[in-house]
Amino acid sequence: MVRERRDPEQRPSPEALLEAARREESASGKLKIFVGAAPGVGKTYEMLQSAHAKRKAGIDVVVGFVETHGRAETEALVRGLDVVPRKRLDYRGQIVEEMDLDAVIARRPQIALVDELAHTNAAGSRHPKRYLDVEELLSHGIDVYTAVNIQHIESLNDVVAQITHVRVRETVPDSVFDRADAIELIDLTPDDLIQRLKEGKVYVPKQAERALEHYFSPGNLTALRELALRRTAERVDEQLLNHMQANAIAGPWAAGERILVCVSEDPRAAGLVRYTKRLADRLHAPFTAVSIETRRSLQLSDEERDRLADTLRLAESLGGEALTIPAVGRRIADDVVNFAQGNNVTQIVIGKSTRSRWFEMTRGSVVHDLVRRAGNITVHVIAGDELPGEAAPKTAVQTAARSEPFNPLPYLKALGIVLIGLGAAELIQPRFGIENVDLVLLTAVVAVAVRYGLWPSLLATVAASLSYNFFFLPPIYTFTITDPTNVAAFVLFMVVAMIVSNVAARVRTQADAAIGRIRMNEQLYAFSRKLAGTATLDDVLWATAYQIALMLKVRVVLLLPEEGLLTVKSGYPPEDELDQADLAAANWAWSNDRSAGRGSDTLPGAKRLFLPMRTGRGPIGVIGIDNDRTGPLLTPDQRRLLDALVDQGALAIERVLLVEDMDRVKRTVESERLRSALLTSISHDLKTPLASVLGAASTMRDLAGALSDTEKRDLLATVIDESERLNRFIANLLDMTKLESGAIVPNTALHDLSEIVGSALRRAVKILTAHKVELVLAADLPMLQLDAVLFEQVLFNLLDNAAKYSPPDTTIAIRSRRESDHVVLQVADEGDGIPPDEVESVFDKFYRVQKGDHVRPGTGLGLAISRGFVEAMRGTISAANRSDRSGAILTIRLPVPAQPHALDTAA
């Protein structure tokens, strides 16, 4: 019998345990999503069948909302379940049905069926989207079964549009999909789905014909099916990994391949990453490059640190994940295996060691340890001759000796600390005895290890051991030891001192590394906060250049592409242009997406080092840095910090560019909408009256002798009415142009509001002939500071609008009253009112309320002009529906001038 071997030190992941505890303690319901590649695969049918099975098991199931689309088999399944009546809403004059959320919550079933997760609710519903209704049901402890097609997942929206050439407007955030407790994929082959479509089981015949020609082509369905399979597999794989981490299960469970490649500063590590990439492509598996950060990592030369950083960046550029993990175990192999088991890695790639046999016998072999510890994980050991690269790296001692000159000061200070400890031991020995002397000397060794590291602490160990022998072990003042017991004490002291110094030095190394990471994180956080407060591209570029220059003590220049050429956009200190060498390096870095210039392998003669600024969409610019120091431009730690700062700066630049692109697209769309609306208005409101005038005039010319006087008067009236209509149209266009150019300046004076209202009514008498007018003006209205001509035009436009949008024989009411320091004037009609979601749009240029397929005649400029005129006179205008939903109300609020009576008397 073979049993699974579990490491006794294996512990569940804290994050996975917290997530599991949160789910268990949460009172929310469980969410199950039935996913399909396209409409018609049978998601709703399968959901209903599952509901019937649950009901037979004694579970309370209700239908919150299920759309049958007229399919007989689906309707039959719905009839066998309890159905919560739908909520009826009046939307744009039509009755629409939505799920009655409150009724489902009040019913409190164990499971609620809610179809079409991505559906957009009608105006007047509590939530704009149905998935928000589902979240509220879950928060009340109700389990929910729902269905969605893969094209509605937000992150796949662009991919689906590229495949099908159809942009899906209704989407569901990925977070909703990811929080599901269960995912069931309803899979159907493209041929079977097309057959269902032809049989009329998905759409009615005419719709089915169009669908087969476009969306439901075999190629589209195959691609959508692959998307559904992959997205569901990713979610299941994530659930498996969470389960393993929460239960401390040592992987791998080979449900899917995952590859881990171990990298170091070795020149052949880049070839190892490329080998892993080829292996991952063959297995269709993700891969991760991992570097274990040990004490030796701090002894690497600048060249080796740069090489390691380049190797990790190479892994990311090839589509992998790159991680640096601090060593926590006694052996590197333990850290690698623990990481692999915790992340369900199935295969590990590592390079074959080039160290001598003696070195491996005395210091151990990572490769051999890894093979022994890997368990069920496959280990690929790649020989050096399979990987192109340079010669094998030198040892850490050789590296340290080569990269930095010998500094004797730490060693001298270590001997000084031992002398201090020796003096303290001499003082306490007469009182406390020799038994406590060794503790004092050990304390000195630990102090040296913590302060100065491993090698000075080893010197301190030797010095303390010899001092302990010379000054305290009899016979004293000689290195001879006569008592065998003292020999054992001396040897034990030296061994303990060496162990303690080694451990203390390791702790100091780890502490230094942790402090370095903390400082780097603090700098990145401060940098991100600076960028978050910027809104324009110039501000982001300046903040990026200034902060990087400040943090790294370098000069910075930023270049972005402009009309195909790299152009200097910002810098600190300010820089306008580059010399030819720097410009060539910048262009090479931009074109090849790799660093170039000073300190690199490409164009090293340039004054600056240039790095591409890249995001998920590719390179967006180039950053160049330089300083006045000789030697390396940056230390490895500074280079890592620079890479992180450049990445954050690139994301901030991309954010601003995306916002600018969206604004540009928005302006283009708005301009196109206005152009289309203007052409529509001109084609209707200019052409119609001209046609009427021409028709009447032609009739009078051709039939002048046959027309009676009454007919002639009617034709002349038509000419006059249509000419006035045409004149109003042109006047509106001119007024709108003057408003936008700022050419209209109100000529205000004190006026009686009732006189202006009367003048507007007399002018509008023709357009109000089919309506009743109710006029109610308060008696205590003060004189108002108005431009009488402009305000009369405002009232005329409001009356014209009310007449257009209300049926004949209805009442148009004009009412006014005083409210504190304002006068309120309202024009109310008895029409269909304004759609609730379009109330704010009625004052937009060329806007006209649409009812069904019918659009009212007019330019759509009257209310926009009215708002401009009223605001020019320091007033406000707003629109709303009447409380009884029997029409619209347009309200003007005008300020009461200060001390109007005094002003009137003075006049």
Say whether both 871 and 764 belong to one domain.
yes
pLDDT at 47: 92
Contact between 185 and 47 (Cβ < 8 Å):
no
> Rounded to a whole number, what is the largest CA-CA distance in the chain?
153
Could you tell me if residue 342 is inside a domain?
yes
Q: Tell me the torsion sign for CA atoms 438, 441, 445, 447.
A: positive
Opening angle at CA 104, ends 103 and 110, nearest 5: 150
Task: Give the separation between CA 505 and CA 253, rounded to whole angstroms.
Answer: 39
- The CATH number for 848's domain is 3.30.565.10
| Helix%, strand%, coil% for the chain, nearest 5 | 55, 15, 30
Q: Per residue in 537-576, pLDDT tens?
A: 888 888 888 888 888 888 999 999 888 888 888 888 888 7
Tell me which of 823 and 428 has the higher pLDDT.
823
- Residue 636 pLDDT > 80: no
At 680, is the pLDDT very low, low, confident or very high (cuts 50, 70, 90)?
Answer: low
Give the pLDDT of residue 287.
92
Give the whole-angstrom CA distance, residue 288 versus residue 306: 19
Q: Say what angle helices 14-25 and 218-246 make with each other, to 10 degrees.
A: 100
Residue 824 and residue 781: Cα distance in Å, rounded? 10
Backbone φ and ψ of 809, nearest 5° = 65, 15
- Answer yes or no: is 189 within a domain: yes
In terms of pLDDT, which residue wins out, 705 or 604?
A: 604
Share of the chain above pLDDT 70, in %: 78
CA atoms of 707 and 450, how far apart (whole Å)? 117
Tokens of 111: 């499971």
Query: What letters, b where the CB count within 10 A reaches 16 and e where it falls short, cover 62-71?
Result: bbbbbebeeb
pLDDT at 643 over 90: no
Total domain count for the chain? 5
The C-alpha atoms of residue 684 and residue 699 are separated, in whole angstroms, by 22
Residue 476 has pLDDT above 90, yes or no: no
Examine the fold and report which residue of 246, 267, 297 is the final residue of a domain before the chain moves on: 246
Report which secondary-structure segment, H or E, holds 881: strand 876-881
* Count of Cβ atoms closer than 10 Å to residue 848 Cβ: 21
Instruction: Specify the DSSP element, H or E, that contains 554.
Output: none
Rounded to an integer, the average pLDDT of 283-294 is 86
Same domain, 38 and 167: yes
pLDDT reported for residue 339: 86
Per-residue model confidence (pLDDT) at position 400: 36
Q: Is residue 32 part of a domain?
A: yes
Higher-confidence residue of 907 and 830: namely: 830
Same domain, 439 and 504: yes
326 bridge partner residues: 293
Which amino acid, one-letter code, is at 160?
A: V
Between residues 278 and 216, the one the model is more confident about: 278
Average pLDDT over residues 696-706: 78
pLDDT per position as a tens digit, 662-672: 777 777 766 66
Please say which residue of 378, 403, 428 terminates a domain.
403
Q: Name the 3-class secondary structure at 65.
A: strand
Cα Rg of the chain, angstroms: 41
Query: Do 23 and 145 fall within a single domain?
Result: yes
Whether 842 maps to a domain, the answer reads: yes
Interatomic CA distance for residues 873 and 751, integer angstroms: 13
Shared-domain flag, residues 166 and 36? yes
The yes-or-no verdict on residue 174 having pLDDT over 90 is no
Domain match, 87 and 200 both? yes
Segment among 27-41, 330-344, 421-435 with least mean pLDDT? 421-435
pLDDT of residue 54: 92
Residues 794-838: pLDDT tens digits? Answer: 898 899 889 888 889 899 999 999 988 899 999 999 888 888 777
State whether 295 and 228 are in the same domain: no
Q: How would you class 817 by CB atoms within 10 Å of its CB: exposed for 0-12, middle for 13-18, buried for 19 or more?
A: middle
Based on the domain organization, do 489 and 603 belong to the same domain? no
- Beta pairing, strands 143-149 & 31-36: parallel
Structural domain of 386: 259-403
pLDDT digits (tens, 9 = 90+) for 239-251: 666 655 555 555 5
In a domain, 168, yes or no: yes
* Residue 271 domain-assigned (yes or no): yes
Structure confidence at residue 114 (pLDDT): 93
Residue with tokens 């006068």: 823
Residues in the chain: 907
Q: Cβ distance 44 to 16 under 8 Å?
A: no
Higher confidence at residue 108 or residue 74?
Answer: 108
pLDDT at 684: 55
Model confidence at 326: pLDDT above 50: yes
For residue 204, the model assigns a pLDDT of 55
Shared domain check, 419 and 383: no
In a domain, 106, yes or no: yes
CATH code assigned at 599: 3.30.450.40
Do 415 and 387 fall into the same domain?
no
Please give the backbone phi and psi of residue 24, each rounded to the nearest 5 degrees, phi first: -70, -40
Which pLDDT does position 186 carry in this prediction? 86
DSSP three-state, residue 866: helix
Q: How confident is the model at residue 378 (pLDDT cuts 50, 70, 90)?
A: confident
Among 22-31, 213-222, 364-373, 634-643, the range of highest mean pLDDT? 364-373
Under the banding of pLDDT at 50, 70 and 90, the label for residue 411 is confident
Residue with tokens 């109710």: 774
Counting runs of H as helices and runs of E as strands, what totals does the chain give?
Answer: 29, 27
In a domain, 833, yes or no: yes
Q: Quick one: pLDDT at residue 736? A: 63
Q: Does one domain contain both 236 and 344? A: no
Query: Mean of the pLDDT values across residues 19-26?
Result: 52
CA dist 490 and 485 (Å) reads 9
Same domain, 801 and 761: yes
37 — pLDDT class (breaks 50, 70, 90)? confident
> Is the previous residue joined to 573 through a cis bond, with omega within 30 degrees of 0?
yes
pLDDT band at 631 (very low <50, low <70, confident <90, very high): low
User: What pLDDT score was predicted for residue 545?
Assistant: 87
pLDDT surpasses 80 at 507? no
Residue 297 belongs to domain with CATH number: 3.40.50.620
Looking at every residue in the chain, the average pLDDT score rounds to: 78
Alpha carbon distance 20, 347 (integer Å): 28
Q: How confident is the model at residue 3 (pLDDT cuts 50, 70, 90)?
A: very low
Distance, CA of 713 to chain centre: 69
Higher-pLDDT residue of 131, 94: 131
From 403, 422, 447, give the residue that closes a domain: 403
What's the order of all strands across the beta sheet hosting 565-572?
Answer: 565-572, 555-562, 618-626, 609-615, 596-597
Q: Which of 168-172, 284-288, 326-330, 730-734 has the lowest mean pLDDT?
A: 730-734
Structure confidence at residue 485 (pLDDT): 67
**Alpha carbons 604 and 582: distance in angstroms, whole number:** 10
Higher model confidence: residue 229 or residue 740?
229
- Confidence category of residue 167, pLDDT binned at 50, 70, 90: confident
Q: Tens of pLDDT along 106-144?
A: 999 999 999 999 888 887 788 888 999 999 999 899 999
pLDDT for 904 equals 46
Task: Tell me the pLDDT tens digit for each residue of 722-740.
Answer: 787 677 667 766 766 666 6
Query: Could you tell me the pLDDT band of residue 903, with boundaries at 50, 70 and 90?
Result: very low
Which residue is associated with the tokens 């629109």? 879
Instruction: Please determine, for residue 369, whether its predicted confidence score (pLDDT) is greater than 90.
Output: no
Find all residues with CB under 8 Å of 832, minimum gap 6, and list them. Answer: 93, 805, 849, 851, 887
CA distance 482 to 476: 11
- CB 115, CB 147: distance < 8 Å: yes
Q: Give the per-residue pLDDT at 789.
A: 82
Is the predicted pLDDT of residue 598 greater than 50, yes or no?
yes
| Of 842, 828, 843, 826, nearest in space to 757 by CA | 826
Say which residue, 70 or 33, is predicted with more confidence.
Answer: 33
Q: Helices 537-552 and 636-681: crossing angle, nearest 10°?
A: 180
DSSP string covering 645-701, please? HHHHHHHHHHHHHHHHHHHHHHHHHHHHHHHHHHHHHIIIIIHHHHHHHHHHHHHHH
Statement: residue 449 has pLDDT above 90: no
Residue type, 27: A
pLDDT in tens, 289-322: 998 887 677 667 767 777 888 888 788 778 888 8
CA distance 227 to 161: 13
The predicted pLDDT at position 906 comes to 40
Say what the pLDDT of residue 242 is: 60
Cα separation of 853 and 837, whole Å?
18
Provide mean pLDDT across the span 676-689: 60
